[in-house]
């Protein structure tokens, strides 16, 4: 049973560029959430996708956008990169998110460095 996978594992970009990160959820899961984890901090919620729509959003600017595909995989796009966007980006998948307390399963993350 494949867990959550993310690609690429590492990425280096320069300020102003755009980046796309990818995530495949755990088999059988239909919901994908994205988090940003800065060094020494806990993950911060960016947004969540369910049924190909953004359902919830955290306190992130519109430069952060996403997409979910019919096979439940997801992309995170960040435009006009800033130095402060350097972080580990985590994808988490879950099932039936209407149930409070549903466990989210995390992928290994994509480490983004913006120079």
Partner 1 sequence: AQSVSQHNHHVILSEAASLELGCNYSYGGTVNLFWYVQYPGQHLQLLLKYFSGDPLVKGIKGFEAEFIKSKFSFNLRKPSVQWSDTAEYFCAAPATGNTGKLIFGQGTTLQVKP
Q: Which is nearer to partner 1, 43 or 85 (CB)?
A: 43
How is the chain split among helix, strand and coil, in percent rounded to 5? 5, 50, 50
CA distances from 30 to 12, 24, 62, 99 (A): 30, 10, 24, 13
How far is C-alpha 104 from the chain's CA centre?
Answer: 12
Query: Does residue number 2 form part of the binding site for partner 1 (CB under 8 A)?
Result: no
CA distances from 34 to 2, 31, 108, 115 (A): 19, 10, 12, 22
Answer for which of 68, 74, 104, 110 binds partner 1 (CB under 8 A) is 104
Q: Which is nearer to partner 1, 22 or 106 (CB)?
A: 106
Q: Determine, following the binding rule CB under 8 A, whether residue 60 of this chain makes contact with partner 1.
A: no
Q: Which stretch binds partner 1 (CB under 8 A): 10-18, 28-36, 65-73, 76-84?
A: 28-36
55 binding partner 1? (CB under 8 A): yes
- Single residue of 27, 56, 77, 79 touching partner 1 by CB under 8 A: 56
């Amino acid at each position: 049973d494949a867990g959550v996978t993310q690609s690429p594992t590492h990425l280096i970009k320069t300020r102003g560029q755009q980046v796309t990160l990818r995530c495949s959820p755990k088999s059988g899961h239909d919901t994908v959430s994205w988090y940003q984890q800065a060094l020494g901090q806990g993950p911060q919620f960016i947004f969540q996708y369910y049924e190909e729509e953004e359902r919830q959003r955290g306190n992130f600017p519109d430069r952060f956008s996403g997409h979910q595909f019919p096979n439940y995989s997801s992309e995170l796009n960040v435009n006009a990169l800033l130095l402060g966007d350097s972080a580990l980006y985590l994808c988490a998948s879950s099932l039936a998110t209407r149930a409070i307390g549903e466990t989210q399963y995390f992928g290994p993350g994509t480490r983004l460095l913006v120079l």
